[in-house]
Amino acid sequence: MLLQVFALLGSMPLSTQSQSESDEYILVASLDNARNLSNILKAISFKDHAIFNATQNGLKVTVEDSKCLQANAFIQADIFQEFTIRQDVIGFQVNLTVLLDCLTIFGGSTVPGVSTALRMCYIGYGYPLTLFLEEAGVVTVCKINTQEPEEPLDFDFCSTNVTNKVILQSDSLKEAFSELDMTSEVLQLTMSPSHPYFRLSTFGNSGNAHYDYPKDSDMMELFQCTKTQKNRYKMSLLKPSTKALGLSCKVSVRTDSRGFLSLQYLVRNDDGQICFVEYYCCPDEEVDEE
Amino acid sequence: MDCVSTGGNVKVLAKAIHSLSRIGEELYLEPMEDGRYQAPPDQAFHCKMPIKSVQAVFRSLSSLERSVEKCRIQMNSEKSRLTITLHCKHGLLKTHNLSFQDCESLQAVFDKESRGNVLQAQPRLWVDTVLHFPPSLEEVCVSVSGERVWLKNHVEDDADPSRAMMTELCLSSEEFDHFAISSQNSITFCLKELRGLLTFAESSGLPVSMYFDDPGSPVVLSVSDSVLEANFVLATLSEDSHQHSHSNSKAERCKAQPPPDDFMSDDMDSYLIAMETSELAVPSYEPAPHPCSTNHRARLSSTRQEEEEEEEEELLDRPPSKKFCSLFFGSVLPASTQLTSQTTRSQEVLASDSEDEGEKE
């Protein structure tokens, strides 16, 4: 069974666990507001399974699709009210859909002042991930089975190899993404030091469409394009990134010499703290550069 | 063709497209010589395309209002391509290249000015009236006489009269901005198209005019101001050319007969009492067994805007003439008993008690 859930009524603060129990955990992460974790995980929840990787710096959650797309969510240690780790690196894999269901088990309503508190604990290899969730005096304990973590893909995307980079305010891209012609199989990205500078194109049943962002637009915070590049990416792979875009206030778009795409989203959580989500995507086909 | 629309006009254009999308599946565009078009005289081309493609360009009215500053539409007949460019805030440029098919020019043959009957009212009046009919209702019947207009739902001849709900509204001529009736008349046409026009008219705040003659000839619904004109030409159900054989019903045969002017005092109660106890002529139509010639196709004509011309085509293939049921406000008569003159009959007002599901005739 993937999951065991226990619900306890009555006031039982999450901190009152026996000392011996606490000693067993190699990872303990607590949040006063579980939404600071669940919201960002929703931005990468296009597949069922996620790889968790915890270090001193915090938590990194990875989701992949078809060996062509990878999404990572970074929640730094200082976002958590408590973040204790007893190994250098801890890795496990869980069902992300189940995890999100547990994190939002109290319904996820946004009544001001009321939030779900979370204490996430892990004993180690072979043990389930234990979640203690509390809201308004009601405590729920969830134990989610963990699996051997798969090795995440290495897209080998390094900043030294970046050909073109722009940073845009998310609002303008949000509109474009919501209007994208879904009958188009690909999304073509053109980045160039000259016109059209930054262009998103679709090729659908009724015709094609282009969204052009000039380099001097006030939505463009940074424009560093060295070479004209046109790359196509599968629409089905990129469409899920719309969720991350929706949460973010800024996005950086980078392509490297191979045409690989890196999208990095700056997300502010409920408390105004910054987290990051990034998407890596392989190009669909070679398009001759002009 | 190359034309530009700016500011709030873009939203009007978008609303026109959305309104037309409720009528048919294809959009016809035809630049005209007048106005500010730049159609070269030798380029007499016309195009049609699926309306959904154009609708997608103008999908979100709120985002259009918020961010679009200018809309440019160019037609390239060589490549059969229509290019719509939206210039938005922050320098964002959205370009849509849509392919179209060449086609013959469509022109509806009608002259609304020559129609015998004209009604004009603010869109709010029409909207409030139409609101009373169920959304699923396909056809509505408009009858005029003297100082009154009735609207009622049209019921299929094969509908079970005991289960059909009849709705009838009566409007006084005073409610209309313009009321010119040449003769008593009654026409039936598709409500869906009327609703489509009303959505557009209401948002533009322009009065809606209805021009019509006898049943069978088209009704023209029109909205216009200094920069645009919209004409929706709809087919109406034609009258039966053959009379029904078992024709005990004489007077009610083909023409609409208005109810007596019991609305003078606007006293609903007394009207209902009168209905139940006395013989009253009511608007009714005689059913005929022979389907008459299928209704002709009506072609809708242009919605002209400041710099944009569109034509839509409506192919209305109506089934052959239907039987009309005699109607009372709130009560229903089975078709078979319509034969006799409408003398004393016991009728029950079926619609009076909406809570009671177990109504019987």
Q: What is the 3-state secondary structure (H, E, C) of chain A?
A: CCEEEEEECCCCCCCCCCHHHHHHCCEEEEECCCHHHHHHHHCCCCCCEEEEEEECCEEEEEEEECCCEEEEEEEEHHHCCEEEECCCCEEEEEEHHHHHHHHCCCCCCCCCCCCCEEEEEECCCCCCEEEEEEECCEEEEEEECCECCCCCCCCCCCHHHEEEEEEEEHHHHHHHHHHCCCCCCEEEEEECCCCCCEEEEEECCCEEEEEEECCCCCCEEEEEECCCEEEEEEHHHHCCHHHHHHHEEEEEEEEECCCCEEEEEEEECCCCCEEEEEEEECCCECCCCC
Question: How far is Cα B144 from Cα B148, in angstroms, rounded to an integer?
Answer: 6
What's the pLDDT tens digit per position in A118-145? 999 999 999 999 999 999 889 999 999 9
**Listed ranges A13-17, A25-29, B152-156; the one with the highest mean pLDDT:** A25-29
pTM score, whole prediction: 0.71
What's residue B306's pLDDT? 31
Label residue B255 by pLDDT band (50, 70, 90): very low
User: Cβ(A206)–Cβ(B52) under 8 Å?
Assistant: yes
What's the pLDDT tens digit per position in A81-97? 999 999 999 999 999 99
All residues of chain B having their beta carbon less than 8 Å from the beta carbon of residue A207 are 53, 81, 96-99
All residues of chain B having their beta carbon less than 8 Å from the beta carbon of residue A214 are 91, 93
What's residue A118's pLDDT? 95
Peptide bond into B319 cis (omega under 30): no
- Mark yes or no for CB contact B90/A218 under 8 Å: yes
Q: Does B224 have pLDDT greater than 80?
A: yes
Q: Which of B130-134, B209-213, B239-243 has the lowest mean pLDDT?
A: B239-243
Question: How far is Cα A27 from Cα A129, in angstroms, rounded to an integer?
Answer: 10
For B86, nearest residue in chain A (alpha carbons): A211
Label residue B253 by pLDDT band (50, 70, 90): very low
Question: How far is Cα B334 from Cα A205, in angstroms, rounded to an integer?
Answer: 51
All residues of chain B having their beta carbon less than 8 Å from the beta carbon of residue A177 are none
DSSP, residue by residue, B32-94: -SSTT----TT----EEEEHHHHHHHT--HHHHHHHEEEEEEEEETTTTEEEEEEEEGGG-EE
- Mark yes or no for CB contact B56/A213 under 8 Å: no
For B92, nearest residue in chain A (alpha carbons): A213
Kindly state the average pLDDT of the residues B158-171. 81
Q: Which of B247-251, B302-306, B324-328 has the lowest mean pLDDT?
A: B324-328
- Give, in degrees to the nearest 5, the angle at Cα A6 between A3 and A8: 160
What's residue A21's pLDDT? 55
What's the pLDDT tens digit per position in B170-214? 999 899 999 888 888 889 988 888 888 888 888 888 899 999 888
The phi, psi pair for A136, rounded to 5°, reads 50, 40
Label residue A263 by pLDDT band (50, 70, 90): very high
Question: Smallest Cβ distance to A213: which of B52, B92, B98?
Answer: B92
Question: Residue ranges of the alpha helices (H) in B142-240?
Answer: 191-204
**Listed ranges B33-47, B50-64, B239-253, B335-349; the one with the highest mean pLDDT:** B50-64
- Mark yes or no for CB contact A207/B60 under 8 Å: no
The radius of gyration of chain A from alpha carbons, rounded to an integer in Å, stands at: 21
**More confidently predicted of B265 and A90:** A90
Label residue B333 by pLDDT band (50, 70, 90): very low
Question: How far is Cα A135 from Cα A117, in angstroms, rounded to an integer?
Answer: 6
All residues of chain B having their beta carbon less than 8 Å from the beta carbon of residue A172 are 90, 92
- Best A170, A206, A220 residue to mutate vs chain B (most B CBs within 10 Å): A206
What would the two tokens of residue A201 be? 């194109």
Kindly state the average pLDDT of the residues B121-147. 88
Interface contact A218, partner B, CB < 8 A:
yes
Question: Smallest Cβ distance to A209: which of B60, B81, B96?
Answer: B96
- Best B47, B51, B53 residue to mutate vs chain A (most A CBs within 10 Å): B53
What's residue B107's pLDDT? 65
Q: Does A176 have pLDDT greater than 80?
A: yes
What's residue A114's pLDDT? 83
On the CB side of B204, CA atoms within 13 Å amount to 27
What would the two tokens of residue A180 be? 């994208």
Q: Does A197 have pLDDT greater than 60?
A: yes
List A residues 153-212 in contact with B (Cβ-Cβ < 8 A). Answer: 172, 175-176, 178-179, 181, 205-212
- Mark yes or no for CB contact B50/A206 under 8 Å: yes
**What percent of chain A lies above the pLDDT cut of 70?**
89
Q: Which of A213-217, B9-13, B83-87 has the lowest mean pLDDT?
A: B9-13
Label residue A286 by pLDDT band (50, 70, 90): low
- Mark yes or no for CB contact B92/A210 under 8 Å: no
Q: Among candidates B109, B92, B118, which has minimal Cα distance to A196? A: B92
- Mark yes or no for CB contact B53/A207 under 8 Å: yes
Q: How many CB pairs under 8 A join A and B?
A: 58
Pick left, alpha or beta for residue B266 (phi over 0 → left; psi -120 to 50 → alpha; otherwise beta).
left
Q: Tokens 């209805």 identify what position?
A: B210
What's residue B33's pLDDT? 63
Q: Tokens 């029904």 identify what position?
A: B244
Kindly state the average pLDDT of the residues A253-267. 95
Q: How far is residue B332 from each of residues A96, B263, B360, measured CA to CA in Å?
A: 60, 20, 11
Interface contact B62, partner A, CB < 8 A:
no
**More confidently predicted of A87 and B157:** A87
- Please give the mean pLDDT across all residues of chain B: 68
Question: Smallest Cβ distance to A207: which of B92, B93, B98?
Answer: B98
Q: Does B314 have pLDDT greater than 60?
A: no
Q: Does B103 have pLDDT greater than 50?
A: yes
User: Cβ(A44)–Cβ(A277) under 8 Å?
Assistant: yes
Q: Does B22 have pLDDT greater than 50?
A: yes
In this prediction the ipTM stands at 0.82
3-state secondary structure of B270: helix
Q: Which of A210-224, A249-263, B35-49 has the lowest mean pLDDT?
A: B35-49
What would the two tokens of residue B304 be? 């002209």
What's residue A212's pLDDT? 96
What's residue B63's pLDDT? 85
